[in-house]
Amino acid sequence: MKLIFATNNHNKIEEIKQFIGDSFQLITLREAGIFTDIPEPHNSLEKNASEKSSAIYRMTNTSCFGEDTGLEVTTLNGEPGAKSARYAGDERSFEKNMDKLLDQLKNTSDRTAQFKTVISLILEGKEFLFTGICKGKITREKKGPNGFGYDPIFVPDGSEKTFGEMTLKEKGEFSHRTKATMKLVAFLTNN
């Protein structure tokens, strides 16, 4: 089965390829000849994921999926959430986003947070949603050169390391994106 993954984010493509296996042929937007960025205009991860998959399905009439991921911080009432990629501005700077978040939390002891991934699959015109959550906490400083986004400041429950200190394989044992992807793969395998 061919599936277009509605992203240009190389890091997300590598993470998902690791778990989707050989059962499905994953086609990136670039491989599908689509070079535009799909907007994320909504205030919810579900709506943004749906926006991406719907846009690609309309363009290609091919089964596809899109995802949106956000970091939800308890004391910030779930921020940055759906605005995680642009938390510090439209240029999508990982460093500035982390700096802003660390600054927002500098005077608080409650550093609990969760990563949430929502995948929207459109299969033969019907939409299905899959969610993965990874609970953890925000560190007081950046640790580790690996990963992307907020990985150097997020420690998942059950670990002493940030995602930024983990290999891709180690991160996969905890990852929100892995959890959502496994639900997607299980669904596709049984349909």
Point out the residues that are catalytic. Answer: 68
CA distance 2 to 152: 34
Q: Measured on CA atoms in the order 121, 15, 165, 82, is the torsion positive or negative?
A: negative
Got the DSSP string for 134-170? EEEEE-SS---S-SSTTGGGEEETT-SS-GGGS-HHH
CA distance 139 to 117: 21
Return the C-alpha torsion angle 97, 103, 106, 109, nearest 10: -30
H or E element, residue 3: strand 2-5
CA distance 118 to 145: 25
**Max CA pair span of the chain:** 50
3-state secondary structure at position 26? strand
H or E element, residue 73: strand 64-73
